[in-house]
Chain A
Amino acid sequence: MNFLLEPLNLVTFFPLLGVLVLLFIKSEAKNTIRWVALGTALVNFGISLWALSMFNSSNPDLQLASQYSWIQVAGWNIQYYLAVDGLSILLVLLTTFLTPIAILSTWTAIEDRVKDFMVFFLMLEVGMLGVFLAQDLFLFYIFWEFTLIPMYFLIGIWGGPNRLYAAVKFFLYTMAGSILMLLAILWLGVNQGTFSVPELVLKGGIPADVQLWLFIAFAAAFAIKVPMWPLHSWLPDAHVEAPTAGSVILAGVLLKMGTYGFLRFNLQLFPEAAVKAAPTIAVLAVIGILYGAAVSYSQKDVKKLVAYSSVSHLGFVMLGMFALNAQGIEGAILQMINHGLSTGALFLMVGMIYEQTHTREIAVYGGLWKITPIYGSLMLIVALSSMGLPGLNGFVGEFTILLGAFGSKAFGTPIYAILSAIGVILAAIYILYMFQKMFLGPVGKIVEEVKHHGHELRDLNAREIITLLPLLVFIFWIGLYPAPFFNLIAPAVDKLLIPFRAILGG
């Protein structure tokens, strides 16, 4: 019982209680199922806030640890080890925060097999939280692979017309990366004698050439997940086919598992290799930023546009992280959260209009602001946040990242920062292009078509506004007063940077 009452165990496994309750509810009682799922997710958000209240933000180390020996026989040294620090606390909160929002967004969108949907969704939450909290590589790998399974079903059962292809592609792509990571994990376990991350960090002493191989193996798993150019091709397929709630979680949280993995494992475990790899990663990140933006601009499908914008945004995160200085990494972590909020909101809003019109083709829309003013105004805020307008969250993250990249000793040149600044401009172009085509100008033909089917294009209802409101609060909060968020991150980043200061000087 004590085991379950430890805050991190509780927050990770509480959704399973919801799953258990759901199994006893009849499939026909769809509303009860929705309320149970929503309630579980909300309570879990509460639990994560409780954990936050116990979190000491000035302590750079792992906290609230729940550590038990698990498999300690036959030469195995595997622990059950969950803990949180400044690198992961915000991501944990993001996960528990986005899950109820995503569930709320499915209220009318998912009518088929609601129970199965919610079961998978809550199981996905368990997997994601486990990934962010696990401090033992074996445990981490299990959670990491486990997240694939519910997401695969979410895309495969409730996805769009091409869902089978997208689901299998998503699964195999991600697994392709993680099998290489598996070998690297085993190398560490065999040669360093432990799977515990803090112990491995403390032990260090991996020869430089081996470090590079291990770095590549871990990076393969994470780079596919992020996704970094040129490994991104699964992402647009998965996003376009996934149901809205799936897209929100996919963009909001699952992709962050990749960037978080780089932060927690690649930087902490293989600092020498990270320094060596930094310029290469920077090149890939910059290509991703520019390529993602350019491809976004050329999309005819608004959901695809948002999907490709993720490639661009996460390029910024990678660039900041491998600047290997305080601004870069703090900006990267904050930008992970920002991307979760802004892109999550964008996917939600795309889903809201799609539910009414059943099309995502940009060309058929137009003049929506006049017809649906609330929707239009909220979309404008979210779009501006996504493109990085000062005063909103995106700006804070991107600006800090660019500062970090500009002065990065690991890059040794400001050229990456300059090039990626072009990406900021491109973001403004594709976002505003989308907004202009869909919301301004003459009324699009879709309005007539919807009327033709006997409906009237309606504005957002109360539930939809409630779904979006929490996201908007944080979009403004981070944009106007980001200090509390940086305070949570900074000490841990400072600690993370110790080996890099030794290598790079200063």
Chain B
Amino acid sequence: MFKYFEPNKIFSITSKAPKYVLLLFIIVISIGLTEALILSPEDYKQSHSARIMYVHVPAAWICLGIFSMITFLSTIGYIFKIRNLFLISKSLAPSGFVFNIIALVTGSIWGKPTWGTWWAWDARITSMLILALFYLLYLIAWRIYDNDKAFKITSIISILGIINVPIIKYSVDWWNTLHQPASINILSKSSIHISMMYPLFIMTAAFALFSLLIFLMKYNTELIKIKNKGLDRL
């Protein structure tokens, strides 16, 4: 099964896919922005400031999802010694980190009109900041160490960092935080109105497409880097 993960097989797809993903991203983000900024209603309590949710929440969801994927792929890659899974993890990290920063900054901007402060050392916000530090460590480790050592170190960083992910998710339930509890629940009824849920899902789809685009471009870059080294050896 693992032969399908070989770079030679994947590159023929990943080298052509970005232009289609970029086109789809532009279409979906245009619809998402129109819904989020114009068509969706203002919140009865927070008025228009609630619109920040349409960039803050998808960014937070995706940065958590990407970190979980990085940990999963790194662990499998380390156990079964599949180098390509490390390459995939490495290519996912830049967009995950940027989404983490977007979640923190837009959360801070939303905090000012809602809580009266740009920053609070609240459990949810602090744990998100810790995740950003793990992302940073992960990216730095790839820059500092050579391949074999980097595989080991980045796997350790991602495994340590994943402990923080359930803390982020349940921080609003475990502690009395300034941050509001989740409005969207898979298992129980969501407290968000459908008119706000649609734009939120469209923006999430747009953000997911953007991270896919960045992943594909980064992955292709990493493959060409390997091939460059191959040419040196010829």
Question: Do A and B share a complex?
Answer: no
Which chain A residues have a beta carbon within 8 Å of chain B's beta carbons?
A: none
